[in-house]
Amino acid sequence: MTIVVLDGYAANPGDLSWDGLRELGELTVYERTAPDEVLERAKGAQAITTNKVLITAELMDQLPELRYIGVLATGYNVVDIPAARKRGIVVTNIPAYSTMSVAQLVMAHLLNITNRVALHSQAVTEGKWQTCKDFTFTLSPQIELDDKIFGIVGLGNTGTAAARIAQSLGMRVLAYSSKNAETLAALGIDKADAYEQLFRESDVLSLHCPLTEETHHLVNAERLSWMKPTAILINTGRGPLIDEKALADALNQGRIMGAGVDVLQDEPPRNGSPLIGARNCFITPHIAWATQAARSRLMKIAVENVKAFMAGKPQNVV
């Protein structure tokens, strides 16, 4: 089988191996592929993988030999799924490979905002502790999380992992989820009956839901107005879950205390973002998924997906 990896650099910048896929057929790996290069590079391939390269219906029409598309991520909005189904092309994704890595970054953002470790470490490096009149000084409020409410939208694998870590810090967890109250209670989680309850009661609100028409701009000006002025918003899900201008306004006006985001509306934000430079807004460049452990799992599952397809028993089909 002829296999083409269209944009492999993000998943494997050189510290992992493509040998697993290479053993399954004739493999060509491209680090990155521009839109005007996709057709030429995918031509003749029976299987292609993509992370962020768009695979449209028009492209599929020009690739008559294509039988399989492997998305090297959990989200698969880069592929026109109805068009693939219509043409009998199997599309798979990589579920649950980065659960603990993403949950870990949720907490990294939260602890950064509540303790500002880097800020204080830099101050010591600059000599500010050495010249202090007291044995201690703080440059930001030091916030204890014990008994605070950790709100979650979406209680899948990552949301549940984040909930467990929050509970270990002594936080109470409140979730807006399709799961019933009894199921949540067994996990020590309270169920929010509506978004308004979740936004009003949460001291920390973490987004873990998929991006759909219903969740686009889930965080908007009205819902931000429900939040406590001491509240913290964390987003490691999808950038468009947040109306960036509304959040920037809320931060700059002190209507919520802080935000930690790993995703933006446009990535990379070549034309900027209202959140860049907003008060108490801390942005990381979509790195939650990118630990070597998570990427190793991704690569392993990608190989297993192709093997299963070749055996006539495709798995992780979307």
Task: Say whether 286 is catalytic.
Answer: yes
Contact 109, 260 (CB under 8 A): yes
Of these residues, 67, 87, 286, 304, which one is catalytic?
A: 286
Residues 6+ apart with CB under 8 A from 15: 292
List strand residue ranges (DSSP E) for 180-271, in order: 189-191, 204-207, 232-235, 258-261
Angle between helices 157-168 and 99-115 (to 10 degrees): 40
What pairing do the DSSP bridges indicate for beta strands 204-207 and 2-5?
A: unpaired
Instruction: Spell out a b/e string for 20-59, using b for 16 or more CB atoms within 10 Å of the CB, else e.
Output: bbeeeeebbbbeebeeeebeebbeebbbbbbbebebeeeb
Of these residues, 109, 172, 223, 238, which one is catalytic?
A: 238
What is 62-79 written as a DSSP string?
Answer: T-TT--EEEESSS--TTB
What pairing do the DSSP bridges indicate for beta strands 232-235 and 258-261?
A: parallel
Task: Say whether 238 is catalytic.
Answer: yes
Catalytic residues: 238, 267, 286
